[in-house]
Every structure is written in structure tokens, then in C-alpha cells.
Amino acid sequence: MTTEQLSHQAVKDATAATEATMRTQQVPVNMYETTGAVVVVAPLPAVTPDDVTIELKDQCLRFWARLRSAAPRDYLLSEWEYGGYERELDVPAGYGSSVEASLNNGQLAIRILKGVAVEAINVKPNGAL
């Protein structure tokens, strides 16, 4: 193996070890109403749209992101990980006909549109709202 392959494998191994033992981090959110939607905004640093899953079911919004990568380091102070994020919250009645989401600059924005809630919705963030 080359040095680059060994380094990549070390990151993969460190990520797997960290993910196996880490607590999921509860994400703080801001929620507000606009004309026609409820908007939830949450910080998700160091993840990509492919890392994030959003689910709306029975008026409950849940979103989570897996651990992106863990550097094989001995930190002097380590207060957060690059991922392992999760949050679940109730959505006000009257919303849930559709869900749109974007992830830009480490900020997840979810729009839950007004209307009759459908049985279940799963989405991935994409472009700007």
C-alpha cells in the first residue's frame, strides 16, 4: 500500500471506531412560520447533502446525518464530531403536504409546506430553497 492509501485507511478506521462508540449529537434548531410553510433551520457543520436524511411522518420531523469522517488524532479538547447529528420535533397541525430542503454553508433549511399531511415523506437536501 502507498502512504496515501494507508492514510485513507487510517481515516476510515478512525471513523468506524468513532461511529461505533459515539453518542448522537442533538442539533439545536430554529423554527418559524412563513406564508404557506413552516421552516426549520439547523447547523450541520462538515456534512454534505448525501450524508443527511430527512423524514416527516405522523406530524413528526426527524433528520439525521452520519459521521462524515474522524481524523485519527489525539485531541487536547474535543467537544463535537463531524456528524452523528440527529433531531426530532413535532410539526404544527396543518403542515406536511410536501417537504423541501437545502444544505448550504453548514446550515440545513427544511420547508414543510402547508396542506394535508401525507403518510410519510423522505427527502435529501439539494439546491437552495
- How large is the average pLDDT for residues 83-89? 88
Please, are residues 61 and 40 in contact by the beta-carbon 8 Å criterion? yes
pLDDT score of 81: 67
The whole-angstrom separation of Cα 48 and Cα 71 is 17
Q: Strands 120-123, 107-114: parallel, antiparallel or unpaired by DSSP? A: unpaired
The whole-angstrom separation of Cα 85 and Cα 63 is 8
Phi, psi of 85 (to 5 degrees): -90, 145
Angle at 5 between CA 4 and CA 8, to 5 degrees: 85
Global pTM reads 0.77
66 pLDDT band, cuts 50/70/90, is: confident
Least confident of 1-15, 55-69, 75-89, 105-119: 1-15
The whole-angstrom separation of Cα 111 and Cα 125 is 11
The whole-angstrom separation of Cα 88 and Cα 126 is 20
Arithmetic mean of pLDDT over the chain: 83
